[in-house]
Structure 1
Amino acid sequence: MESREATATIKGFLYQFNETIRQILMLESTSNLTIEGIEDIDIMTGDGQTNAIQCKYYEATEYNHSVIKPAIEWMLKDYKNRLDKGDNIISYKLYGCYSKGQEKLKELIDEQSGVRKLGEFKEKLLTKKKGKEIVKIYEKLGLEDEEVSNFINQLDIDNRALSFEELSKELNSLFRETFECGAIEAEYYYASALHLVSHLSIKKEKKDRIISKEIFKEKIDNKEFMFNEWYLYFKGDDEYYKEITKTYFSALNNFVHANVFIFAYDRNKDSLKQIRDLIITIAKKYSDVESNRKIDYSKPIIHIKDIKPDELSEVKNELYEHELDFIDGFPYKYSKFRTQEFMTSKPLHFMFVDDFECLKDVIKELDSKKSIKIYEFYSNSNYSKERLIWGHNMIRVKNTSDIEGII
């Protein structure tokens, strides 16, 4: 029983995420969407209107008014709160999937006129039992009939939502239409979209959970990743890595750009010695520290993902003992991170940026002064979900240890 309940709960969350993706793909260009806002999904139109949508996945449950009553009560309380504060009144929608019983919703609507019956709504959805007590929610909130009627007119109940399977098919169709691709490619887009939505849903600040259709499309458009997966699978490691070297690392003008290298430390596969040796190789090939050139020195910037502070400290210590000169944005003990450190003309073998958010600040500062090339090596889903600049190259590798041979 517990296993079935857990599966149903997980499926319910996934259904909500899928419906969120569907709503984003159907947005108008002037609209945006908030994930986990007033309700599960809030759609804000260009003219300032808001539609708050709550998703309910009860595919194994028969529809009864009692099933949706808690959700309607929550919406009514939000409506009352807006009246009291003088805030804009919004629209509400309850979107639910049920096994049967959908016809019961007709009890709330006049068959002839199609007008919603105030009395039926109040009795069936806005009244509940608390022990032996009958609680009229609208009376408890101090709402008059006119106010309740206005709320009902702002409420849309759809108890014939798509099933889980139907929604999945609908999404595949929407992805094919949006990106003009085939069914298999659409599955890749879906995987990327699901990752993005789940990631946004846990953001603490509301502003970070707001997205438009265009931004959404940009963030999930991963044709480069799909091509890399295809090439690696069909051509094999050797051919793929040769092509990567030829495409990105065969030019002789290594010092023209500010070169940024991003890679991960997988402690299940890599040793810290391998990480150290990789950095030494990068420093030898991409640092202009021993050159007599009169131009600004070229100093590769390195960011290592998934490495613990003590592990990174060990790598830095070993590199220092190898007499390599580097900085990390902290000029003295207890210093805050300083991006201006990375603007130095002092000869260095490389520069470390420990934190990805700090790396974004450094890139932003450098981008106005010098051409930048970013080489991000990733395996599986371990890659940044945003491109920092136009020249942000995503390179698929099986292991971090493969990078040294590629560059």
Structure 2
Amino acid sequence: MTGRNAVDTIRGYFYQFDYSILRVLRLPDPSSSIAVECIEDIDIRNATEVMAVQCKYYSGTEYNHSVIKPAIRHMLSHFKTIRDEGKPAVRYSLYGHYSAGQHKLTLPIDVAFLKQHFLTYSERKVERRHHDELGLSDADLADFLSVLDVDINAAGFEDQFAQVIRELQTAHSCTPFTAEYFYYNNALALMRELSIQPLPANRTITKRAFLERSDTSSVLFNEWFVRKKGEKAHFAALRKEYFTDLNLSPFERFFLVEVDSGTLVRSDLKDVLHMLSRKWSKTTKRDGNSSFCPYVYVHGLPADELVGLKKELATEEFGFIDGYDFHGADFNVKSIAKPATYQNGIKLKVLNSIADLAATVGAVTRTREVYQFHLGSSYFDPANTAVKHTKIQIKKLTDIREII
């Protein structure tokens, strides 16, 4: 597969996932459902009918009847099978985006056009008539056309994505950023998860369940979402949303960083700590009583590694405090909450444990903001729900440098 074809194929997958998300969001009631990869790409079920939709994205292909001919033959075969078995009728929909050529198809399609352009084809130089092989009369074909919808003027890739974001904004009463980075991110992961389930029943989801399962308080690192956005663009958007305030207010900011002890490189962690201190501190002489520096808690860091890290920082004369005033002392919130100033040289406040973190977040009185970077599940929630808490899932520690 060439690079161009590979890109088109990937965009085709995303286009179908986006269409599936759009259709479930537009279901008329919470109990209506969609099924992924069952009769067709998407099956839409409500109280009165089932619609089987084949969704295709051909941005580099001009429309010709031959492009949709196999799909229509497949739908006609299914139409005959369920009718012969006495099962309820299904509506069929062909939904596709093409680069050009839409003028070649005039709607509505009649029986003669259906037979000539979609059901008659050559195979090994032998003409075949699909309707005759199925034993269907013109009246049968007319019945099929009555349940067939064809739309070859489907929205483009970006236009459809914009529709999805607007629907998510409406469903969750949120901003465009939240719609994309929280709800769409999670919806995309959920739709992909459904598509790979082996049993049809597990590829079905109601609107209610979809909204509940795609609702999370974290910006998750969904590889498909990041692949669609591009890693640099993903990190840049997070940085713009959360970490580009040039006029820093003297808030108490807590940065929670998770590490994998099995792959941790101490120098990488130190780089992150230095960057946090440099970007989120104000401790010059002119800052006076408005000076401040960030708090940091490193989750998953073994106790001996924490000691080694502190020793290195102390050796390098990097000013930090940890709330323990002497060997054997208990943790002292007042000690770690001491203002960082030019005179005392405090550049970072290191919290040793979740307990120390919770105690400090609960005790300080200035405006608090918590930024949690987690590798897997989140590991901390402030007891006070009024505290601003931003959760961002990362793939590796060094991602933080690109985000902040």
Q: How far is the alpha carbon of 1:398 from its aligned partner?
A: 7.2
Specify the alignment match of 1:79 in structure 2.
Answer: 79
Indicate conservation of the 8 Å contact 2:261/2:300, yes or no.
no
Give the Cα–Cα distance (whole angstroms) in 1 for the partners of residues 391 and 38 of structure 2: 36
- The 1:84–1:394 alpha-carbon spacing in structure 2 relative to 1, beyond 3 Å, is farther
Q: CA offset at residue 396 of structure 1?
A: 6.0
Alignment size in residue pairs: 267
Counterpart mapping for 1:141-220 below 5 A:
141-188=134-181, 189-220=183-214
Structure 1 residue 131 displacement after superposition: 2.0
Which letter does structure 2 place at the counterpart of 1:90?
V
Give the alignment of 1:340-355 within 5 angstroms: none
CA contact (8 A) 2:41 2:53 kept: yes
Residues 347-405 of structure 1 show CA distances to partners (whole Å, capped at 9, x for unaligned) of xxxxxxxxxxxxxxxxxxxxxxxxxxxxxx9725x349xxxxxxxx997687999xxxx
Q: Which string of whole-angstrom CA distances, capped at 9 and with x for unpartnered residues, describes residues 279-306 of structure 1?
A: xxxxxxxxxxxxxxxxxxxxxxxxxxxx
Counterpart in the other structure of 2:264: 269
**Equivalent-residue separation in structure 2 for 1:138 and 1:71 (angstroms):** 14
Q: Indicate the residue corresponding to 1:88 in structure 2.
A: 88
| Structure 2 portions without partners, runs of 5+ | 221-237, 267-298, 304-371, 379-388, 398-404
Runs of 5+ consecutive residues of structure 1 not aligned to the other structure: 110-115, 245-262, 279-376, 385-392, 402-407
Deviation at 1:222, TM superposition (A): 2.2
Q: CA deviation at 1:85?
A: 1.6
Question: Are the equivalent residues in 2 in contact too, given 1:97–1:160 (CA < 8 A)?
Answer: yes
Which amino acid in the other structure matches residue 141 of structure 1? L
Superposed counterparts of 1:218-257, under 5 Å: 218-223=212-217, 225=219, 239-240=253-254
1:67-90: CA deviation from partner (whole Å, max 9, x where unpaired): 000111111111111122221110
Matched, 1:39 2:40: yes
Rounded Cα–Cα distance in structure 2 between residues aligned with 1:127 and 1:86: 27
What is the rounded CA distance, in whole Å, between the counterparts of 2:214 and 2:144 in structure 1? 37
Distance in 1 separating the partners of 2:75 and 2:152: 16
Distance of 2:136 and 2:126 partners within structure 1 = 19
Q: For 2:265 and 2:198, locate their aligned partners in 1 and report how far apart those are by CA, in whole Å.
A: 33
CA distance in 2 between partners of 1:270 and 1:206 (Å): 45
Distance 1:186 1:398, change over 3 A: closer
Deviation at 1:130, TM superposition (A): 0.7
| Cα RMSD, aligned residues only | 3.7
Letter in structure 2 aligned against 1:68? I
TM-score of the two chains, using structure 1 as the length reference: 0.58
**How much does 1:168 deviate?**
1.4
Flag the 1:104–1:215 CA change in 2: closer, same or farther, 3 A.
Answer: same
* TM alignment of 1:341-380, pairs within 5 A: 379-380=374-375
Aligned pair in 2 of structure 1 residues 239, 51: CA closer, same or farther (>3 Å)? same
- Please list the CA deviations of residues 293-322 of structure 1 after superposition, one character each: whole Å capped at 9, or x if unmatched: xxxxxxxxxxxxxxxxxxxxxxxxxxxxxx
2:2 paired residue number: 2
Cα deviation 1:151-185 (Å, max 9, x = unaligned): 11110000000001111111121122221111211
Q: Does structure 2 retain, via aligned residues, the 8 Å contact 1:57–1:97?
A: yes
Q: Aligned ranges for residues 80-119 of structure 1 at < 5 Å? A: 80-106=80-106, 109=108, 116-119=109-112
Question: How does 1:264-303 map onto structure 2 within 5 Å?
Answer: 267-269=262-264
After TM superposition, give the deviation of residue 21 of structure 1 in Å: 0.7
Contact 2:218–2:392 (CA under 8 A) maintained in structure 1 = no
Instruction: Provide the rounded CA distance (Å) in 1 between the counterparts of 2:111 and 2:168.
Output: 41
Residues 96 and 159 of structure 1 are in contact (CA less than 8 Å); yes or no, is this contact kept in structure 2? Answer: yes
CA distance in 1 between counterparts of 2:130 and 2:244 reads 60
Seen in structure 2, the aligned counterparts of structure 1 residues 123 and 400 have a Cα distance that, compared at 3 Å, is: closer
Change (3 A) 1:267 1:87: farther
SS of equivalent to 1:43 = strand
- Kept in 1, the 8 Å contact 2:110–2:145? The answer is no
Go from structure 1 to structure 2 and tell me whether the alpha carbon gap of 1:91 and 1:231 turns closer, same or farther (over 3 Å shift).
same
Amino acid at match of 1:31: S
Q: CA deviation at 1:264?
A: 9.3
**Given the superposition, is the C-alpha separation of residues 129 and 397 from structure 1 closer, same or farther in structure 2, using an over 3 Å criterion?**
closer
